[in-house]
Chains A and B, each alone.
Chain A
Amino acid sequence: MSVFCDVPLSAPVAVFQLTQDFNNDPFPTKVNLGVGAYRTDDGQPWVLPVVKKVEKVIVHDDRLNHEYLPILGLPEFRAASSRLVLGDKSPAIMESRVGAVQCLGGTGALKIGAEFLRRYYNGNNNTKTPVYVSAPTWENHNAVFASAGFEDVRSYRYWDAAKRGLDMSGFLGDLESCPERSIFVLHACAHNPTGIDPTQEQWRQIARVMMRRQLFAFFDSAYQGFASGNLERDAWAVRHFVSAGFEVFCAQSFSKNFGLYNERVGNLTVVARDADSLRRLMSQMEKIARVTWSNPPSQGARVVALTLNSPQLFDEWKDNVKTMADRVLLMRAQLKAKLHALRTPGTWDHITQQIGMFSFTGLNPKQVEYLEKEKHVYLMASGRINMCGLTTKNIDYVAASIHEAVTVVQ
């Protein structure tokens, strides 16, 4: 008799199941608009030219070895990453109250931040502090905070399905009525899955309420540069909160903007009120990292550090990022144009108003099922599509398929 006989089978992660179904589908014009990774116009993964270049530099550098990194990670990576999101001239950095933990992608940064907050925020080991995530949000947010020990993960209103935009009054209402010191997970830009971001004025309002009600700001920044093509613009919200005096956590991912998905490059930037608090905080972060992965992987961090710290490579990288962002913007423009030309029922402005990799099309689950089964176009049950899955070669087919789904299925 197995000691594992009572272990239940867990359901597969939806987005990966979708890709698997897509892979198993032999239909010649199938399209995968599911998992969030960039694709070229040929529907291929793209290793950024600057990444390829830097990988070669690394492999030929005989001064490098494979000795353990410090627990908190590669120092030049951590510093450059924090500078990237907060700005080179960030007063908080100059005041020595910014720290960072190199982590395993955005997920790892969220995890370490969550583990820390559960232990040391709002009391000691206060598992009851409410954690608010947007409705909807990336499907892993809830699980990361729950597995870190938080018992009360709630949603704040965000997506207004009727107007296909931000439910600002609902959002502000939740900020006003939640318990003080609640933790709020905010998407720095390119909200996943809706693609709808607050405007700068809306962010200012959000910040004012959060400051007054002593709410904790935990930013998830997975698309800096990738959203608008502009690094500063995509970091505006985070920088605003810091300049408004917040202490914040910012989980940064370099999976998308460096295309380094599988090297797990992430950074948890921590902004504290003063250097002493920061020091104590970082010492506890070390303890958490030590019992989770001991110290982080080197390869991806080296690639990012070398790139960010070299003016020439940094420029080249910004260019590569703009290439990706521009293709996405082009696909957005073209999809909307084609749906308009087809006179597909409904409004489609949201396709170009939304930003980043994802679009919440507004398609309902039945229409999504139709697209998958009848048209072999794969997307999330929520109606979320990955714009990167669109190419000049398949966009007509996708537009026509959406048109069919919307007119045939209600």
Chain B
Amino acid sequence: MSVFSDVPQAPPVVVFKLTADFKDDGHPQKVNLGVGAYRTDDCQPWVLPVVKKVERLIVEDCGLNHEYLPILGLPEFRSAASKVALGEDSPAIKENRVGAVQALGGTGALRIGADFLRRWYNGTNNRATPVYVSAPTWENHNGVFTDAGFTDIRPYHYWDAAKRGLDLSGLLDDLEKAPEHSIFVLHACAHNPTGTDPTQEQWKKIAEIMKRRKLFVFFDSAYQGFASGSLDKDAWAIRYFASEGFELFIAQSFSKNFGLYNERVGNLTIVAKDSDNLSRTLSQMEKIVRTTWSNPPSQGARIVSKTLNSPELFAEWKGNVKTMADRVLLMRDQLKTKLLALGTPGTWDHITEQIGMFSFTGLNPKQVEYMIKEKHVYLMASGRINMCGLTTKNIDYVAQSIHEAVTTVQ
């Protein structure tokens, strides 16, 4: 008898199941608007030219070896990554109160941050500190904080389905009512899955309440540069909170903006009140990292570090990022135009008002099912589409399919 005989079967992760179904589909015009990775107009993955260039430099560099990185990661990667988020002239960095942990993608950064907060924030091992994630949010946020030991994960109002935009009053209300010291997971830009971000004015209101009510700011920044095409613009919220004196965590991912998805390049940036608090915090981060992955993988961090730290490569990278952001913006524009031209019922302004990789179309589950089964256009049950899945070659078919779904199914 197996010692595993009572282990239950876990359901597959939804977004990967969607891609698996897409792969198995034999329909010639099938379109995958599911999983969040960039695609070219030929619907191919894109290895950024600057990445290809730097990979070659690395392999030819005989001065490099494979010795263990420090537990907290490659120093030049960590500092460059924090600088990208907080800005060249960040006062917090100049005041030596910014630290970082190189982590396994955005997920790893969230995980280490969550593990730390559960152990050391708001008391010692206080699993009951409420953790608020947006309604809706990336499906793994809940899982990461739960696995780190938090027992009280709650949603905060975010998406207003009726007006297809931000439910600001709901959000502000939740901030006012949350227990003091609650942790809030904020999307730095290009909210996943809605694509709807607060305006600068709205961020200011959010910050005011969070400061007054002593709420902890944990940013998830997976799309810096990818959202608007501008690194600084996409980091506005983070920098605003930092300038307002908040202590905060930023889980940075370089999966999308460097196209380095499978090398797991992430960084947990920590802004503390002073360097003493920072160093004690980092020492505990080391302990957590040591029992999770010991020390992080080198390849992706080297690529990002070399790029960010060379003015020439940095400029080239920004060009590559803009290429991706621009294509997404073009697809947004074209999709809305085509839906308007078709006279598709409903409003479609949100397609161009939303930002980043994802759009919350507003399609309901029945319409989504129609799209998948009848039109072989794959998207999440929530109505979320990945704009990167659209190309000049398939956009007419997709617009037509959405039109059909909306007019045929209610």
A341 at the interface (CB under 8 A from B): no
* Given known A104-B104, A291-B140, contact A66–B261 (CB-CB < 8 A): yes
Chain A residues in 8 Å Cβ range of B298? 262-263, 299
Most buried by A among B51, B71, B111, B262: B262
Interface residues of A in 224-266 (CB under 8 A from B): 247, 255, 259-264
* Given known A262-B67, A273-B1, A287-B10, contact A111–B293 (CB-CB < 8 A): yes
Chain A residues in 8 Å Cβ range of B295? 262, 264
Partner of A297, one of B67, B140, B297: B297
A274-304 contact mask (Cβ, 8 Å, vs B): 1 or 0? 1001111101101110111111111110000
Chain A residues bordering chain B, tally (CB within 8 A): 77
- Chain B interface size, as a band, is 35 or more
CB distance from A367 to the nearest CB of B (A): 28
Chain A residues in 8 Å Cβ range of B284? 7-8, 10
Are B66 and A13 within 8 A (Cβ)? Answer: no
CB distance from B265 to the nearest CB of A (A): 9
Are B283 and A9 within 8 A (Cβ)? Answer: yes
B59 at the interface (CB under 8 A from A): yes
Rounded to whole angstroms, the CA-CA distance of A123 and B85 in the bound complex is 45
Interface residues of B in 187-220 (CB under 8 A from A): 216
* Given known A111-B293, A298-B262, contact A292–B147 (CB-CB < 8 A): yes
Are A2 and B262 within 8 A (Cβ)? Answer: no
A147 at the interface (CB under 8 A from B): yes
Rounded to whole angstroms, the CA-CA distance of A124 and B8 in the bound complex is 11
Interface residues of A in 98-146 (CB under 8 A from B): 104-105, 107-108, 111, 120-122, 124, 140, 143-144, 146
Partner of A9, one of B107, B122, B280: B280
* Given known A3-B121, A261-B67, A293-B264, contact A66–B47 (CB-CB < 8 A): yes
Of chain A, the residue at the smallest CB distance from B44 is: A65
Are B105 and A294 within 8 A (Cβ)? Answer: yes
Chain B residues in 8 Å Cβ range of A293? 104-105, 107-108, 111, 264, 293
Are B10 and A283 within 8 A (Cβ)? Answer: yes
* Given known A264-B295, A297-B264, contact A121–B3 (CB-CB < 8 A): yes
Are A291 and B143 within 8 A (Cβ)? Answer: yes
CB distance from A102 to the nearest CB of B (A): 11
CB distance from A226 to the nearest CB of B (A): 15
Interface residues of B in 160-210 (CB under 8 A from A): 181
Among B223-231, B271-279, B362-370, B389-397, the stretch in contact with A = B271-279
Partner of A280, one of B8, B143, B263: B8
Chain A residues in 8 Å Cβ range of B278? 4
A51 at the interface (CB under 8 A from B): yes
Are A45 and B67 within 8 A (Cβ)? Answer: yes
* Given known A4-B247, A147-B291, A292-B108, contact A281–B7 (CB-CB < 8 A): yes
B1-29 contact mask (Cβ, 8 Å, vs A): 1 or 0? 11111111111110010000000000000
Partner of A7, one of B11, B16, B281: B281
Rounded to whole angstroms, the CA-CA distance of A298 and B299 in the bound complex is 9
Q: Provide the main secondary structure of the chain A interface.
A: loop
Are B69 and A262 within 8 A (Cβ)? Answer: yes
Are A120 and B294 within 8 A (Cβ)? Answer: no
CB distance from B47 to the nearest CB of A (A): 5
Chain B residues in 8 Å Cβ range of A143? 287, 290-291
Partner of B291, one of A69, A111, A124, A288: A111
Chain A residues in 8 Å Cβ range of B10? 280, 283-284, 286-287
Of chain B, the residue at the smallest CB distance from A260 is: B66
Are B65 and A13 within 8 A (Cβ)? Answer: no
B232 at the interface (CB under 8 A from A): no
Chain B residues in 8 Å Cβ range of A260? 66
Of chain A, the residue at the smallest CB distance from B37 is: A67
Q: Could you tell me which B residues sit within 8 Å of A by CB distance? A: 1-13, 16, 35, 37, 45-47, 51, 55-56, 59, 65-71, 104-105, 107-108, 111, 120-122, 124, 140, 143-144, 146-147, 181, 216, 247, 255, 259-264, 272-274, 277-281, 283-284, 286-288, 290-300
In addition to A66-B263, A104-B104, A274-B2, 4 A-B residue pairs with Cβ atoms within 8 Å of each other are A4-B121, A65-B45, A124-B6, A299-B299
In the complex, the 3 A-B pairs of residues with the closest C-beta atoms, listed nearest first: A104-B293, A293-B104, A273-B2
15 contacts between A and B (CB under 8 A): A2-B277, A3-B122, A4-B278, A10-B287, A13-B290, A45-B67, A55-B59, A59-B55, A65-B45, A67-B37, A107-B290, A255-B68, A290-B13, A293-B111, A299-B300
Q: Could you tell me which A residues sit within 8 Å of B by CB distance? A: 1-10, 12-13, 16, 35, 37, 45-47, 51, 55-56, 59, 65-71, 104-105, 107-108, 111, 120-122, 124, 140, 143-144, 146-147, 181, 216, 247, 255, 259-264, 272-274, 277-281, 283-284, 286-288, 290-300
